[in-house]
Amino acid sequence: MYDVQSKDGKEWFYTDEVKDHFFNPKNLLKTREEAEQCAKQASGIGEEGSPACGDLMKMWIKVKDNKIIECKWQTFGCASAIASTSMFSEMVKGMKIEKALAIKPQDISKELGGLPARKFHCSVLADKALRAAVNDHYKKTNQLDKIKEDKVKIIDKILKITDHDIEEAVLEGVRTFEELQKRTKIGVQDKTCIPEAEQLLRFYLEKYFNKKQ
């Protein structure tokens, strides 16, 4: 098993684990009938799109005694998204909601023996779709105080660059402020936003890659 973070995005081969989950995805809803049936029994349904590639993920969960007993999904995403969501849907089974929500994309990637760096953002879809499905479950069961929405915040007021844009940039390979600025032009005109942008960059690098800048 190799280190996810050592991968440079030039690797052309998926690991055996990725290939196995891609060719035999677990908990995938394959037909409209299956999806409709699942929707009737689901405790929560969530959807998430990737700004990086435009792909979509939909997730259905069944919850009992605060534990996820079933996690089904569909996606328009690529092989990495299919493999990582398949793995994720197995990992969360039987877990308490809070524990499942604490699973990070790098945990999924590790279980898969690594993903190419450029495909890391694909594994974030599952994680975010689960958050949306859990929020839906909390809404349906009137546990409104537990809902956590991922609100967008504008950081660069002139170019309207948001915290999500910084997050996406990190998932797409940005590692330094110079790289971030080159890619987004953040702080070029609105210089007052630079300290906050740097702080967010550090936050996302640590969140996804355990990297301290």
Nearer residue to ligand FES within complex by CB, 130 or 197: 130
12 contacts: CB under 8 Å, gap ≥ 6? none
* Single residue of 20, 34, 47, 55 touching ligand FES by CB under 6 A: 55
Burial label for 124, CB within 10 Å (0-12, 13-18, 19+), is buried
CA proximity to 106, closest of 122, 95, 86, 129: 122
Nearer residue to ligand FES within complex by CB, 80 or 106: 80
Q: Does 109 bind ligand FES (CB under 6 A)?
A: no
CA proximity to 109, closest of 95, 120, 101, 99: 120
- Residue count of the chain: 213
Catalytic pick among 38, 53, 71, 78: 53
Rounded to whole angstroms, the Cα distance separating 10 from 22 reads 20
What are the CB-based long-range contacts (under 8 Å, 24+) for 179-182? none
Instruction: Identify whether 78 is a catalytic site residue.
Output: no
* Single residue of 78, 154, 159, 194 touching ligand FES by CB under 6 A: 78
Q: Considering only 3-11, 73-81, 144-152, 174-182, which stretch makes contact with ligand FES by CB under 6 A?
A: 73-81
* β-strand partners of 44: 61
Token pair recorded at residue 1 = 């098993």
Token pair recorded at residue 104 = 């990070």
Q: Considering only 8-16, 78-86, 175-183, 192-200, which stretch makes contact with ligand FES by CB under 6 A?
A: 78-86
- The site map against ligand FES for 116-145 (x = CB under 6 A) is ---x--x--x--------------------
Total binding residues toward ligand FES, as defined by CB under 6 A? 10
181 φ/ψ angles, rounded to the nearest 5 degrees: -70, -40
- By the 8 A CB rule, do 39 and 73 touch? no
Q: Considering only 50-58, 61-69, 171-179, 183-191, which stretch makes contact with ligand FES by CB under 6 A?
A: 50-58
Instruction: Identify whether 193 is a catalytic site residue.
Output: no
* Single residue of 22, 46, 59, 80 touching ligand FES by CB under 6 A: 80
Q: Considering only 36-44, 48-56, 64-72, 198-206, which stretch makes contact with ligand FES by CB under 6 A?
A: 48-56
Report, as residue numbers or ranges, the catalytic residues.
Answer: 53, 122
Per CB under 6 A, residues contacting ligand FES are 50, 53, 55, 77-78, 80-81, 119, 122, 125
